[in-house]
Amino acid sequence: MYTDEQRRSHIFDLQTFLRRIQRDQGYARPIAADGLFGPETAAAVRDFQRQNGLPVTGTADYDTWTAVFRAYRALTAGDVLPGGVLFFPAGADATLSAGDRGASVFVLQLLLGAALPHFAGTVPVPLTGEYDADTTAGVRRAQGIFLLPQTGVTDRATWEALALFHNSFFGRTPLGWLADAP
């Protein structure tokens, strides 16, 4: 039997896939993933169908679902983190904060870029490798989402919350996040 929980989960997945596709296409307001198939979701499905030569029905039939998933997989295939990077500064009380630069900040920005779009009212964090105002704001937003103190400073708890979300959401562990953990 197909439960309401399963249906909501599948709708959430569809919305997540469509959101990623819309972000790649530069939509100003990509669809929010909430697990409810409402007018915004139907409009996003119709828009995708129109752009991909599918019958425009607003429903996610087998052909539409398959095309959406393929488009999503093609986009996310490039979302791989760089190899050989020490992901978080060594030490139990290490932090990343405004003014820091380097590979760890770049990976932090990748984590924020993967996590934040899945929550309403968030904006992408530019990949600069510099802990700037956008990164600080993104970290504060993530800390609020994960119920951590909203300091804007990336401590180990913030880093691990972002890494755990990434690992759980994408179903993979990228390159051994906690290799430097005590």
> What range does the domain containing 9 cover?
4-76
Q: Are residues 84 and 59 in the same domain?
A: no
Q: Are residues 70 and 160 in the same domain?
A: no
Domain end: 43, 76, 109, which one? 76
Q: Are residues 95 and 179 in the same domain?
A: yes
Q: Are residues 144 and 62 in the same domain?
A: no
pLDDT digits over 62-110, tens only?
999 999 999 988 887 766 554 433 466 666 568 889 999 887 888 888 8
Q: Give the relative orientation of helices 133-145 and 156-170 as an angle to the nearest 10 degrees.
A: 70
Give the highest mean pLDDT range of 27-41, 75-89, 119-133.
27-41
Q: Are residues 72 and 118 in the same domain?
A: no
Calculate the average pLDDT of the chain.
Answer: 81
- Here the tokens at position 23 are 């972000």
Q: Are residues 94 and 166 in the same domain?
A: yes
Assess contact for 161 and 142: CB atoms under 8 A. Answer: yes
Q: Are residues 100 and 41 in the same domain?
A: no
CATH (domain of 101) = 1.10.101.10
Bridge partner residues of 130 (DSSP): 101
Q: Are residues 156 and 114 in the same domain?
A: yes
Q: Are residues 26 and 99 in the same domain?
A: no
DSSP 167: H
* Mean local confidence (pLDDT), 33-62: 94
CATH (domain of 11) = 1.10.101
pLDDT at 169 exceeding the cut of 70: no
Q: Are residues 119 and 65 in the same domain?
A: no
Sign of CA dihedral 83, 19, 28, 149: negative
Q: Are residues 44 and 65 in the same domain?
A: yes
Q: Are residues 25 and 89 in the same domain?
A: no
Domain end: 76, 100, 120, which one? 76
Q: What is the three-class DSSP state of 154?
A: strand
pLDDT of residue 62: 93
pLDDT of residue 170: 61
Domain end: 44, 76, 108, which one? 76
Structural domain total, the chain: 2
What DSSP assignment string belongs to 55-84? ---SS--HHHHHHHHHHHHHHHTT--PPSS
